[in-house]
Amino acid sequence: MNSDWKNYNLIEHVNIKHGFAFTGSHITKEETDNILITPGNFKIGGGFKSDKFKYYDTDQFPSEYILKKDDLIVTMTDLSVTGDTLGYVAKVPKTSRKKYLHNQRIGFINFITKDLDKDFLYWRMRTKKYQQFIVNSATGSTVRHTSPKRILEYCFNAPKDIQSQKKIAHILSTLEDKIELNRKMNKTLEEMAQSIFKSWFVDFDPYMLRQMLLVMLTMTQ
């Protein structure tokens, strides 16, 4: 191991807080200002998935279970047999008006030292090696479960210098942002191509076709 790196025991640097047991009768698919985070909001490989939200239709719950932007959360339940998202982490996204609620079976990662960078840990807990460590000890067959105790047993190597941790995390975050931007651009171009096809072969609208072609050329330059 590089002398500039050392072994970290997760339990020495963070603790994991359980979420609140929100009342089932107030959980709804109808949109409200309260978004209830569930295991379904975690991507395979880690990261936050902003779709298929569940909502809470009352403000009657403890305020300490309102999450903040960039809070680090971890899923402790997975409905798939292979545990595709079990143990992976996500960051709470920015929201202007709505509140993200810390639901049960979701762990909140609270840092108790300053020796470990939050973003570095975020990327470390998105590695396949880490996730396999969690899955190998999971309980349940149809629904897989892990626990704060098991997650906190994880050990890993990281730079001793926290600034080096920050640099590594920044590079990875920048690459992910670029990949996401390209994905969105490709989706937009695909939608425009479908519109062009419709304008030319269905609606016979040459003017609209010219305008969309100009936009596509601008985006790909």
Instruction: Confirm whether 141 is domain-assigned.
Output: yes
Specify whether 134 is located in the same domain as 187. Answer: no
CATH number (domain holding residue 146): 3.90.220.20
pLDDT at residue 46, as a whole number: 94
CA 21, CA 157: separation in Å to the nearest integer? 35
CA 81, CA 74: separation in Å to the nearest integer? 18
Query: Is the Cα dihedral 126, 122, 70, 15 positive or negative?
Result: positive
Distance between start and end Cα atoms, the chain:
44
Question: pTM to 2 decimals?
Answer: 0.84
Enclosing domain of residue 204:
175-220
Domain count, the chain: 2
Residues 6+ apart with CB under 8 A from 152: 10, 11, 14, 15, 16
Can you list the alpha helix ranges (DSSP code H) found in 125-161? 128-135, 148-152
- The tens-digit pLDDT sequence of the chain (221 residues) is 567 999 999 999 999 999 999 999 999 999 999 999 999 999 999 999 998 899 999 999 999 999 999 999 999 999 776 779 999 999 999 988 899 999 999 999 999 999 999 999 999 999 999 999 999 999 988 889 999 999 999 999 999 999 999 999 999 999 998 988 888 888 777 777 777 656 655 565 556 556 655 665 665 55
Longest C-alpha distance within the chain, in Å? 68
Of 109, 126, 159, the one marking the end of a domain is 159
How many other C-beta atoms lie within 10 A of the C-beta of residue 170?
Answer: 13
pLDDT at residue 142, as a whole number: 83
pLDDT at residue 219, as a whole number: 59
